[in-house]
Structure 1
Amino acid sequence: MTAVGKVTQFQYTALYKPNQLIYGSGQTAVITGWTVKQAIAKHLQPREYAVIGQLYSPTRGINLLIRNLLNNPHVRFLVVLNATKEDKNAGAGTCLLDFFNHGFEKGVCDTGRFCWRIRSSIPGYIDEVIPANVLQKLRECIEIKEAKSIAEACDFVRTFAKQEPLESWGEEKEYPMPKAEPTILPGERYGHRIEGKTIAETWVKIIHRIKTTGTIRPTGYDGQWQELIDLVAIVTEEPEDFYFPEPNYLPIDRSFLQEYISQVLDDSPTQEGVKYTYGQRLRSWFGRDQIEQVISRLVQDIDSARAVMSLWDVSKDGNDSPPCLNHIWVRIVDNELSLTATFRSNDMFSAWPANAMGLRALQRHIRDEIIQRFYHQLKIGPLITISQSAHIYDDCWENAEKLIQSQYPQIYQQRDYADPAGSFVIIVQDNQILVEHMTPGSGEIVNYYSGKSAKKLYQQIAADCPGLQVEHAMYLGTELQKAEIALSMKKEFIYEQDKPLNIEFVDTRVR
């Protein structure tokens, strides 16, 4: 704390997310939720506030915010902007207000660790390493206000700034953060393909792949993320009303989903502090309704490959906070409407399930409109997302590991053994290993292989069928090696596919 003339100046020191905050020299912390922090800062003088920052998630953000406040006891006022639909969906501002208004109690967080659980209908946790009496004192020493608009938030800040400076309520305190260190296996850096029947199933597979082989990199803000580059996720059979597992392990529920779908499908008015919604970008941002254009194009030409929607604005998006979703392509093949969406940057743990369900709703809307106008019977095809940076933030690593442990083994056991590359029948005949390659479903023979060496045969098959599923390829190698052993041992062993090698029984009785 310093005094310049008659004005007392304070210095806010952030232990966590320091590069994501706007700093002042006052005693009021301003939490803007999903409203961009600059929307408030431009109406205030730095001497009127201590810090301005955004709070997106109650489970990830409040724990860090509380630690920063404990390290800055000169902050005596807190203004929480809880104004937009996005704020209400996320619930972070509401949960923070509940901490100060209703307190906390002993509980267990999502990963099973003991913690302080905020008394709120919205889950929010604080690490148990912070003593209860310290949290209680923090609640008692900070005056909190909820604002419903930017103007009201600025009024609160100015009112607090006019008061005489208050003494710090205690000493600066810092508490260690638990860290989850991932174990990384070697793997491809670029180009990954994951497929599942439902969004929930596909999501678990995505999290497993990133946590298994993803590269750890700095985020460009604060902290780290684990990342795969160019991850293609394909969802084949998501039901019309969406599948939510029971119990629900997804990071969203149905009530949140309905609000989120509106942000994808519907236009929205320009609002100070809210940069855009995906629906706004699709419906009106460029002076035209791109969703309507795509529907009209496909009604006119059902085979068109030009049903494209773009969300990237080259005149603005080189600056701060460009959209993560950049490009959508819709295609109809064999009366099946698929949708492919490209994300330049994708939070796969917290955001991808909502992204995928919102896009699925858009896909269904386009299908239904085409049927209504064109009377053309269309099926919903796959939803494909291409995430150019598919990542999990470090503050979600522990949750991701728990998800993998609890869900991945079960999902892996339920996998479909059908390989789009086809199937293979292996027999030993006429002193040769014979292999028939058949199409999936109909079983039409499309190729023959023969020889005595398992290695040469699987090399030929691999060259002709580079898209074989990994487990299928390993199975073929095993079966071909069994066939080679049976062949090399002459008549001592009998080879039958999918069965153990049997010793041939020769009847030596004299007749």
Structure 2
Amino acid sequence: MTSLAIFEPLYFSDRLYIINPHGDVGIATLWTPVRQVVDFLARYGIDLDPASSRIAVLGTLYGDGLPQLIRNLLWNPQIHHILILGQNLSGSAEELANLLTLGVEQAERLNQPRFRIRGTTRCLDTAFDPALLTDQVRPVSLGKLSAPETARGLQIFFATLPPPELPRRDRVQVPLPEYRPVYFPSEPRAHTIVRRKPLDAWEEVVTRVLRFGVPVVAGEGKPRLELQNLKVIVTEPVADAEADLRAVGFLLADFQAYQTAILSDIRPEGVDYTYGHRLRRYWGLDLLEAAATRLKANPGSRGGFLTVWDPATDLVADATVGTPCLTTLFFRVFQEVLTLTATFRVHNVMSAWLRNLYGLMALQAEVGRVAGGLPVGAITVISHAIAIDPDTPERLDLARQIAAAKISDGEIDRATGKRTLREDPNGYFIFTVDQAAEGIVAVHKTRDGETLTQYRGRTAMDVERQIVHDGAISDIGHALYVGRQLAILEERVKREKTKTC
């Protein structure tokens, strides 16, 4: 039998409160500070002498620390009892108690195998053997410190502890696994991208789908990494430099040929459909010309809505018959330029998305020309199901290279490599300290420098709440910057206040 072990934490040694390293009781204080619990124990006469106490260690357990707690228990087999008490704000009490009594079941999260603690939704890695803990360590759950029954339960717990016993097994060391999910968590139906140029937009699409795409099986039985309803706004839809396209495997000449083809109403023999044919001949009407004529007569019209999808034939088409991926187009003069919103029922990121965007650029330019020379503006692409095929190594390698090359969210000048801050369309802020009022001032301005409003508060949180209320920030990078500035100014206010006291 193994000799009596001394408590040695593998994780969080700086956060644990050790009383008697030879003890056999661990206390999880949940969300209650350890110092409070120690005072509570002392108030009810619990032995805290390092030479005689049964308590080896105390530590908080908010929830995220459970994998580390498990490793510490595996390395310290002399801990036979776990007392759980304190504020239980995240369900961590039930998770720990159920792990030690009910055990785990096999589960899956982010397409990877996991242990799920029985009776909870909590998932854990599978690198450790749960049998070494379940029914081997006895948990006792009490309530928060202010509850009368907690004090009674505490005294009963220590009064009825069985005599100390030697460890039943040797130490077991299980490193924490490096977490490499197939995809990262997000709301997969809510991604929005805003970029100036087509290639910039496509590279961000690649990065988003590769990182956040959910593993699915497509209708043809093939695996995909997919996002739903991805919305991409390209604010300056003009052709990219030929060298930049070539660097990622595209040819400008191919895109230009596609732009010519998409405007043609001819459907070659043996081809199930073409976008040009659907838009210019299929319905017995040239839809592009009709939309342009309508907008020329009434620039404020919201009737420039065209459909490519024909439910009467496409919904019932045999699986061997091709059906359009592009489904609708909406042309609208907005802020004095011609905008285009296109929806696609399905999109292949690596082979089709950028090519389709160049096709949309040609359609937009044609409608603008026929409508009397309308200047073109942003193109918005909504992809109901957009995916990367993980079983195409060459495409996947390119996608990974593109994602790995992203070092910031700023604008990049591809000719010089220079990066600049991406401007938030909601405006920017100028920050100052109001010495007299002992507070922070954030002046919200438009891109043109017009003052919109002033936000004032004594703390960063005060100003933050006002900014959030007004929706004054739309860019995550801008939000992080504003947060840093507010924190700096709050510290400055505190220092100035200290000087005057």
TM range (shorter): 0.5 to 0.7
Alignment CA distance shift 1:363-1:205 (3 Å)? same
Distance across 2 between alignment mates of 1:388 and 1:408: 28
Unaligned 5+ segments in structure 2 are 1-179, 413-418
Deviations 1:307-331, CA, capped at 9 Å, x for gaps: 1110010111113332110000011
| Conservation of the 8 A alpha-carbon contact between 2:440 and 2:459 | no
Deviations 1:21-50, CA, capped at 9 Å, x for gaps: xxxxxxxxxxxxxxxxxxxxxxxxxxxxxx
Q: Is 1:214 matched up with 2:213?
A: yes
Distance across 1 between alignment mates of 2:479 and 2:217: 36
Shift of 1:276: 0.4
* SS of match in other structure, 1:399: helix
Name the structure 1 match of 2:265. Answer: 267
The one-letter code matched in structure 2 to 1:390 is: I
Distance across 2 between alignment mates of 1:193 and 1:262: 29
Name the structure 2 match of 1:403. Answer: 402
Distance across 2 between alignment mates of 1:443 and 1:409: 25
Q: Is 1:298 matched up with 2:295?
A: yes
Aligned with residue 418 of structure 1, among 418, 423, 426: 423
Distance across 2 between alignment mates of 1:229 and 1:326: 15
Name the structure 2 match of 1:478. Answer: 484
Aligned with residue 307 of structure 1, among 295, 304, 308: 304
| Conservation of the 8 A alpha-carbon contact between 1:432 and 1:452 | yes
Name the structure 2 match of 1:57. Answer: none
Deviations 1:341-385, CA, capped at 9 Å, x for gaps: 00011111110111000100111111122225xxxxx32101111
Please list, as runs of the form range in 1=range in 2, the aligned pairs for 1:209-288 lying within 5 A after superposition.
209-239=208-238, 241-246=239-244, 248-269=246-267, 271-272=269-270, 274-288=271-285
The one-letter code matched in structure 1 to 2:432 is: I
| Conservation of the 8 A alpha-carbon contact between 2:199 and 2:240 | no
Distance across 2 between alignment mates of 1:419 and 1:350: 30
Q: Is 1:185 matched up with 2:184?
A: yes
Aligned with residue 428 of structure 1, among 433, 438, 459: 433
Distance across 1 between alignment mates of 2:309 and 2:222: 27
* SS of match in other structure, 2:333: strand
What's the % identity of the aligned pairs? 27
Distance across 1 between alignment mates of 2:406 and 2:455: 40
Deviations 1:411-468, CA, capped at 9 Å, x for gaps: 7663543211111122111143333443323322222221112122212211211652
Distance across 1 between alignment mates of 2:473 and 2:458: 24
Alignment CA distance shift 1:432-1:409 (3 Å)? closer
Distance across 2 between alignment mates of 1:435 and 1:331: 40
Q: How many residues align?
A: 307
Q: Is 1:325 matched up with 2:326?
A: yes
Radius of gyration: which is bigger?
A: 2
* SS of match in other structure, 2:272: coil
Shift of 1:484: 1.2
| Conservation of the 8 A alpha-carbon contact between 2:430 and 2:442 | yes
Shift of 1:408: 6.1
Unaligned 5+ segments in structure 1 are 1-180, 373-377, 494-503, 505-511
Shift of 1:406: 4.1
* SS of match in other structure, 1:350: helix
Aligned with residue 446 of structure 1, among 445, 452, 456: 452
Name the structure 1 match of 2:201. Answer: 202
Name the structure 1 match of 2:380. Answer: 384
The CA RMSD measured in Å over matched residues stands at 2.3
Distance across 1 between alignment mates of 2:473 and 2:307: 31
Alignment CA distance shift 1:433-1:212 (3 Å)? farther
Name the structure 1 match of 2:337. Answer: 336
The one-letter code matched in structure 1 to 2:354 is: P
* SS of match in other structure, 1:391: strand
Name the structure 2 match of 1:114. Answer: none
Name the structure 2 match of 1:117. Answer: none
Distance across 2 between alignment mates of 1:352 and 1:289: 25
* SS of match in other structure, 1:316: helix
* SS of match in other structure, 2:496: coil
Deviations 1:251-273, CA, capped at 9 Å, x for gaps: 4312322331233111114623x
Distance across 2 between alignment mates of 1:382 and 1:271: 35
Distance across 2 between alignment mates of 1:349 and 1:411: 23
Deviations 1:88-137, CA, capped at 9 Å, x for gaps: xxxxxxxxxxxxxxxxxxxxxxxxxxxxxxxxxxxxxxxxxxxxxxxxxx
Distance across 1 between alignment mates of 2:477 and 2:301: 37
| 4+ long deviations beyond 6 Å | none
Question: What TM-score do the two structures reach when normalised by structure 2?
Answer: 0.57
* SS of match in other structure, 1:200: helix
* SS of match in other structure, 1:337: strand
* SS of match in other structure, 1:442: coil
| Conservation of the 8 A alpha-carbon contact between 1:197 and 1:236 | yes
The one-letter code matched in structure 1 to 2:380 is: I
Shift of 1:293: 0.5
The one-letter code matched in structure 2 to 1:435 is: V
| Conservation of the 8 A alpha-carbon contact between 2:440 and 2:489 | no
| Conservation of the 8 A alpha-carbon contact between 1:232 and 1:384 | yes
